[in-house]
Structure 1
Amino acid sequence: MRSTDTLTRAEIAEAIHKKLGISRAESLAMVESILQQMCSALSSGENVKISGFGTFLLRDKGERVGRNPKTGVEVPITPRRVMTFRASQMLKDRIAQD
C-alpha cells in the first residue's frame, strides 16, 4: 500500500522498474515519453483513448454569461477548450469492486 493519496510519476516509474526489470532511469524516461505523447496529442486537438482505462476528451465551450456569486454582477465567460476524462467500463467495474 502506498503512503500517499496521489500516484506520482516516480511511483509509476518505480512500478515499471520492478515489473519489467529495466533501470529506474529507463522506466522514468518511458513514463515521461508516454506523458509527452499524450500532451502533444491533446494540445494538437486529438482525443486520447487508453483501452481498458478511459478517454481524455477535448470539448469546446462557447461564450456564455456567468454571474459573480458574491455581487450578482453578470460577466461574460470567454470561449475555451476544456479536457474531460471518461473512464472505461472496465475501470469503473474495477473501482466498484475495491
Structure 2
Amino acid sequence: MIRSDLVLRLAAQNPHLYERDCQAVVDAMLGRIADALVAGDRVELRGFGSFTVKEQRARQGRNPRTGVPVEVAAKAALAFKAGKEMRDRVNPEVALR
C-alpha cells in the first residue's frame, strides 16, 4: 500500500471527511513520526510496532564488481520491529500454538 492508497481508504471509511483532510492527517502523522526519528527518539505504535534509529559503525566494504576494498562511512539506519498483535495477525497459525 502506498500513501495515496491509505488516504483513499481513510476517505472511504470516513465519508464525513474530505479526501484533502485525510491527506492532511496522513501527512501530519508521518511527519511527526519522521521528526521524532530525526531527533533520535523511539516511536512506538501499540499493536503495530516500533521504529528506532540504529547507528551503523564505519567499516571496510568491497566493491562487488572489481573486488577493490572501499571505506563505508558510519550512518544511521531505520529499524522496525513489529508488535505482538501485528505478528499474530500476519501469522495466525503461529499464534494458535
Q: SS of the counterpart of 2:91?
A: helix
User: Root-mean-square deviation (CA), in Å?
Assistant: 1.6
Which residue pairs with 2:43 in the alignment? 48
The alpha-carbon distance between structure 1 residues 70 and 10, as it changes in their structure 2 partners (threshold 3 A), is: closer
Which residue pairs with 2:8 in the alignment? 14
- Rounded to whole Å, the distance in 2 between the matches of 1:65 and 1:41 is 30
Structure 1 runs of 4+ aligned residues shifted over 4 Å read: none
Q: Give the paired residue count.
A: 92
- How much does 1:53 deviate? 0.7
Instruction: Give the % identical residues.
Output: 27
Aligned AA for 1:10? S
- The two structures have a TM-score, normalised by structure 1, of 0.83
> Unpaired runs of 5+ in structure 1?
1-6
- Rounded to whole Å, the distance in 2 between the matches of 1:42 and 1:33 is 14
